[in-house]
A and B are shown apart, each in its own frame.
Chain A
Amino acid sequence: MPISTPASAESVAPVARKRRRNFLRPGGYPALPIAILMITLIIPALFSQWLAPYGPEATNLRARLQPPVFFGGDWSHPFGTDRLGRDILSRTMHGAWYALSISVVGIFVGVVIGSSLGLIAGYFRGWWDTIIMRLVDISLALPAMLLALALAALSGPSFQSVIIVVAFVLWAYFARQVRAEVLGLRERDFVARAVVAGSSHLAILRRHILPNVVNTIVVLATLQVGIVITLEASLSFLGIGIPRPIPTWGLMVADGRQLLTSAWWVSFFPGLAILLTVLSVNLFGDWLREKIDPKSRRV
């Protein structure tokens, strides 16, 4: 049949398909539940200092390995306690703060470096492009764990080294994505028009290119939060991330590793926190993309 996409009806001007809000339907992301889930995760992270019933490192040796409420425990430690009698709920809440700050700072650094290089590579092309894209290839080929190990070996595990690892893992993705987008944009007529008008490179980048890639960058950045949180957890789990006794989720899961059969709650709650956070942030990112990324909006 000589028929391809019947959607090529030019007369169907700006058709926005009315979508029924439905979780099961691909592309249907209910905004409200995602928002509620996000807020319940962000608030404890931001205010853990005041909201958490105990300090993250407060030990209580008399209440060691107490099970969660409804599992033989009581309301004094709703999520139970660990081997040193530290409150799991409080530690999970404090962990959220670290997960969040590492994501925000790490992604910010990665975005700034990656997007700038991507802009330069895509806009100026030539040898700029060659050099930057080779660096991207190298960076993508290098395992993050190896770099983390090297950094930990050099300067010892620290907050900063985790940020460096995160930024290092992310910048290449942003550089590549932004470059691809810019390559397309710079061939658009409005850029040609600006060149003919006599605008400088800086003016063209600022007025014509950047505003048109910002959406992509924001969406991409949101979708990286999940990756960063899992990355940070794995680094901490392996002991090359943020050092003890700071309660990151990865460390907490690692701590409960040997107790899985006897005291499952030690690993379970931080693990659950990782799962829920990654899930909700990814859903939010997909929803955001649907909302603002014109490419996926096209019918």
Chain B
Amino acid sequence: MSMNENQPILSVRDLETMIETKRGEFAAVDGVSFDLYPAETLGIVGESGSGKSLTGLSLMRLLPRGIGRISGGSVELDGSDLTAIPEARMRKVRGRDIAMILQDPQTSLNPAFTIGDQIVEAMRLHRKPQPEGFMAMAVDTLRKVRVAAPEMRVKAYPHQMSGGMRQRAVGAIAISCQPKVIIADEPTTSLDVTVQAQYLRLLRELQEQTGMGILFITHDFGIVARVCHRLAVMYAGQVIETGPVKRVFDRPSHPYTQALLNSVPKLSGHQGRLPAIEGQPPALWAKPKGCRFSPRCPYADDRCRAEQPPVTHLGGEGRDRHTASCWRLLP
């Protein structure tokens, strides 16, 4: 890889995305910032409604038309701001530099075309054919995602494959143009446990080979613990804590992160009552004024309810940087 290992490939700053609801327009992504380094997996963790999926769609500029729009901030990929370039150029970037894997392989694949056709279609947009032709390249890509007998599978239709196989095929399309960044939005939720384990291992191996950065959007801390290097916890449209996975798991600093990590039942050892978080995440149109978590936070005081907390630097730099946004972290 020619790029500097310690220079982020993807840099998101103060990203703001508005979405239109029947009650008006609200910021569903509300000033999100993070960096993604080469060969790194960053987990974006949050509950539904936290804005994690919309963050992913915003980076791809694939917000549903007339419903969502980017209203502020920047997304820097390789020195160019993706929020500012014209749509025609964005189309070139999509697939080639930054690709996406969605939750449901069923809907991501066109049932009317073979897997090979769909990989070739993606490659034709962004790559030059090798002498042996696109189809041979497609076979090669399928081999990379560990599809058995790829020469046969290129001719298969999506319905002839199992769920895990389909998700691999989606992965093959995503990596077919050797992107620098892959955004994976809950790619394993529709898969079984053992198939999920295979898939997560595959992603890790592909990353080791290609050095691509992966943005892994999930609600599951278990996935983060297994595949991510760093994580960013989102709540009500904001990143409330970010840092290296091990450090955050050992020393969660935001009360929300602490509570979430505590409330997940563990596989080993006996457990008494689970510590629960009372209440539920706020609706888009009813976000609290101060800290978004303050109504559910056991430590909240008047300042928390009145003013949004600033980002506090808790140690480390670059890939090791650990930050959280909570008033209690300030001296």
Which of A's residues lie within 8 Å of B, judged by CB? 1-18, 299
Per the bound structure, the CA–CA distance linking A6 and B21 in Å amounts to: 17
Which of B's residues lie within 8 Å of A, judged by CB? 19-22, 28, 48-54, 57, 60, 62-64, 66-68, 94-95, 99-104, 107-109, 121-122, 125, 170, 173-174, 283-284
Per the bound structure, the CA–CA distance linking A2 and B20 in Å amounts to: 26
Query: Do A4 and B57 form a contact, CB below 8 Å, given A15-B19, A299-B64?
Result: no
Whether B102 and A12, one on each chain, are in contact in the complex, defined by CB atoms closer than 8 angstroms, is no
Residues of A within 8 A of B53 (CB): 9-11
Closest-by-CB residue of A relative to B122 is A1
Partner of B107, one of A5, A18, A299: A5
Per the bound structure, the CA–CA distance linking A12 and B94 in Å amounts to: 22
The 7 closest A-B pairs by CB, nearest first: A16-B22, A6-B62, A2-B173, A7-B64, A9-B53, A4-B107, A2-B174
Whether B22 and A12, one on each chain, are in contact in the complex, defined by CB atoms closer than 8 angstroms, is no
Q: Nearest chain B CB to A9's CB is how many angstroms away? A: 5
Partner of B50, one of A2, A11, A14: A11
Whether A8 and B103, one on each chain, are in contact in the complex, defined by CB atoms closer than 8 angstroms, is yes
Residues of A within 8 A of B103 (CB): 8
Residues of B within 8 A of A8 (CB): 102-104, 107
Whether A3 and B66, one on each chain, are in contact in the complex, defined by CB atoms closer than 8 angstroms, is no
Closest-by-CB residue of B relative to A3 is B100
Partner of A12, one of B50, B54, B99, B121: B54
Per the bound structure, the CA–CA distance linking A17 and B20 in Å amounts to: 7
- Chain B at the A interface: SS class: mixed
24 A/B residue pairs, CB under 8 Å, sorted by A: A1-B94, A1-B99, A1-B122, A1-B173, A2-B108, A2-B122, A2-B170, A3-B108, A4-B109, A6-B57, A6-B62, A6-B63, A7-B67, A8-B104, A9-B64, A11-B48, A11-B53, A12-B67, A13-B21, A13-B283, A15-B19, A16-B21, A17-B20, A17-B67
Q: Nearest chain B CB to A292's CB is how many angstroms away? A: 16
Per the bound structure, the CA–CA distance linking A13 and B62 in Å amounts to: 17
Per the bound structure, the CA–CA distance linking A7 and B68 in Å amounts to: 10
Residues of A within 8 A of B49 (CB): 11, 13
Per the bound structure, the CA–CA distance linking A299 and B63 in Å amounts to: 13
Residues of A within 8 A of B107 (CB): 4-5, 8
Per the bound structure, the CA–CA distance linking A4 and B284 in Å amounts to: 25
Q: Nearest chain B CB to A44's CB is how many angstroms away? A: 38
Q: Nearest chain B CB to A102's CB is how many angstroms away? A: 40
Residues of B within 8 A of A3 (CB): 60, 62, 94, 100, 102, 108
Closest-by-CB residue of A relative to B284 is A13
Residues of A within 8 A of B109 (CB): 4
Closest-by-CB residue of A relative to B283 is A13
Query: Do A4 and B108 form a contact, CB below 8 Å, given A9-B64, A15-B20?
Result: yes
Whether B108 and A6, one on each chain, are in contact in the complex, defined by CB atoms closer than 8 angstroms, is no
Closest-by-CB residue of B relative to A6 is B62
Per the bound structure, the CA–CA distance linking A262 and B28 in Å amounts to: 68
Q: Nearest chain A CB to B138's CB is how many angstroms away? A: 14
Residues of B within 8 A of A14 (CB): 21-22
Residues of B within 8 A of A13 (CB): 21, 48-49, 283-284
Q: Nearest chain A CB to B168's CB is how many angstroms away? A: 12
Whether B101 and A2, one on each chain, are in contact in the complex, defined by CB atoms closer than 8 angstroms, is yes
Whether A15 and B21, one on each chain, are in contact in the complex, defined by CB atoms closer than 8 angstroms, is yes
Partner of B52, one of A6, A11, A18: A11
Residues of A within 8 A of B170 (CB): 2
Whether A299 and B108, one on each chain, are in contact in the complex, defined by CB atoms closer than 8 angstroms, is no
Q: Nearest chain B CB to A290's CB is how many angstroms away? A: 14
